[in-house]
Structures are given as structure tokens and as C-alpha cells.
Amino acid sequence: MIASPAATDVDLGVFKTGKEADVSLVRRTHGERSVLLAAKHYRDADHRMFHRDAGYLEGRRMRRSRENRAMDARTEFGRELIAGQWSAAEFAVLSRLWSAGAAVPYPVQLSGTQLMMEFIGDEDGAAAPRLVQLRPPIDEAAQLFTQLRNVLTRLADAGYTHGDLSPYNVLVHRGRLVLIDLPQAVDLVGNPQGFDFLRRDCENICTWFRGRGVAADSALLYDDLVCSVPQS
């Protein structure tokens, strides 16, 4: 039902805004069944702020030199190409990670620069809180850190790091941790800066957990994840 062409969608409004995209809540209905989805809308060339994107785009080069030159020069055409790369890259990474059993939203469909995915939240439309909004006791924080290590290991097993990991792009729904916002996911082998992004991800997220009393060693986490990266 979730991908049926006979289903109808009702946009219930934006529930999250960001520099590159807004996310709307959508109710998809087919017959007597309905489900809530999250629709991520990447902004047009005049209203986007794809910050620091040059480093992330390493390893995602297109074959045609005209397109590459346009992206390098950040022309309007080039920015549109970059937007398409972001949405397509996020859909592809989510698809691969979901198939690998990682705790990420299920990717439903991609249409242009709009990505439709599983809504992480309650049936009444209340979105799951971000990790940064929580103040868990130390035992609960330790459990969440274990879940985070597991999902980051799944990413490393698939050859990726998040690329912009922080407590702002981790959701917690009924005790389950879910990683979100993956358009900039970095190919650890294909991107010359891949392992620098991995180290930064480890440092950023471990800093938050240490502030909650968890023995989160970023160097140990980094070393463990490096061991999980497939050898080229």
C-alpha cells in the first residue's frame, strides 16, 4: 500500500525546517488504510544553503565535464545538479542501509528533489524528539550509545560515515535510536577526506554522550569503525 499508485496523499504541513530542505508530514491513504510519511523537500537554487558541500561531493563526480564545471562554479544550473545529487544520494544511502538492517528511516520513493520516507514518531503525528532534546539518566544514555555504535558500525560495514553527525540528526522513538539526515553521507574509500569525516563524526557524538556521563571514547570508537570498513 505504501507505494501503490492508487494511494492518495494529504500534506499535513511542515514539521521540520533546515538549511537545505524542509520536511512535511504526509498522510497516505489507500482504501481504508493509511500511514504517515515524511516528505523531504529540497529547496530550489535561490533558497538553499548547501554549506561546505565541496568536501562531501568528492567521489560523486559526474562523467560529463560540462556538469562538473557548472557544479564547481556553483552556477544556477550547477546548484540544481547538486540538489539532485543530494536527494538521489540520500535515497540511495537510505536504501542500502535499510537493506543492511541499519536503524534509518525506510525510503519510500524519490521524485525529483523530493524524498518520501518513513515518519519516525507517533500515530497522532507527533515527531520523535532529537537526541539533543533529551536528558536521559546515565543508564539510558549508555543504552543509546550502544545503539549508536551499532548503527555506525552498519554504516562503516557499507563503506560510509554520516558526514555531519551530531545529536541534532539522531532521533529517539520509544527508546529506539534512529539516524536521519544522510544526504551528505561520505564514501569512506572514494572520498579522499572520508576518514577525516569519520573521525569528526566520532568526536562530535562522543562529546555529547560524555556530557551525559557515558564513557564514550571517540578514539576507540573511530578505531573500531575503521576495522569495519570493507577493504578495497
CATH number of the domain encompassing residue 136: 1.10.510.10
- Same-domain pairing of 46 and 108: yes
- Same-domain pairing of 108 and 135: no
* DSSP category for residue 169: G
**Helix locations, 135-183, DSSP H:** 138-157
Among candidate residues 96, 118, 140, the one where a domain is terminated: 118
- Same-domain pairing of 140 and 224: yes
Among candidate residues 85, 118, 151, the one where a domain is terminated: 118
Q: Does residue 112 sit within a domain?
A: yes
- Same-domain pairing of 146 and 98: no
- Same-domain pairing of 103 and 144: no
- Same-domain pairing of 96 and 137: no
Distance CA 173, CA 98 (A): 17
Active-site positions read: 164, 181
Q: State residue 66's pLDDT score.
A: 56
Distance CA 149, CA 12 (A): 34
Q: State residue 50's pLDDT score.
A: 47
Please name every residue paired with 30 in a beta bridge, in sequence order, or none if there are none.
33
pLDDT tens, the chain, 232 aa long: 577 778 899 999 999 887 778 999 999 998 889 999 999 988 755 544 444 455 555 555 445 565 456 455 556 655 666 666 778 889 999 999 999 999 999 999 998 888 999 999 999 999 999 999 999 999 999 999 999 999 999 999 999 999 999 999 999 999 999 999 998 899 998 899 999 999 999 999 999 999 999 999 999 999 999 999 997 6
Q: State residue 70's pLDDT score.
A: 47
Q: How many residues make up the chain in this entry?
A: 232
- Same-domain pairing of 164 and 105: no
Q: State residue 169's pLDDT score.
A: 94
Contact between 192 and 231 (Cβ < 8 Å) = no
Q: Does residue 143 sit within a domain?
A: yes
- How many Cα neighbours within 13 Å face the side chain of 167? 18
C-alpha cell at 80: 540544481
- Same-domain pairing of 161 and 69: no
Distance CA 140, CA 95 (A): 29
All residues at 6 or more sequence positions from 14 whose CB lies less than 8 Å from its CB, including other chains: 22, 23, 24, 25
Nearest to 108 by CA among 175, 171, 48, 26: 26
User: How many structural domains compose the chain?
Assistant: 2
- Same-domain pairing of 103 and 143: no
Q: State residue 84's pLDDT score.
A: 66
- Same-domain pairing of 79 and 141: no
Q: Does residue 222 sit within a domain?
A: yes
As a whole number of Å, the end-to-end CA separation of the chain is 39
Q: Does residue 33 sit within a domain?
A: yes
Domain extent, residue 149, equals 131-228
H or E, element range at 184: none
Contact between 101 and 23 (Cβ < 8 Å) = no
Among candidate residues 118, 150, 172, the one where a domain is terminated: 118
Pairing of strands 176-179, 8-17: unpaired
Q: Does residue 124 sit within a domain?
A: no
- Same-domain pairing of 104 and 152: no
- Same-domain pairing of 178 and 108: no
Q: State residue 95's pLDDT score.
A: 96
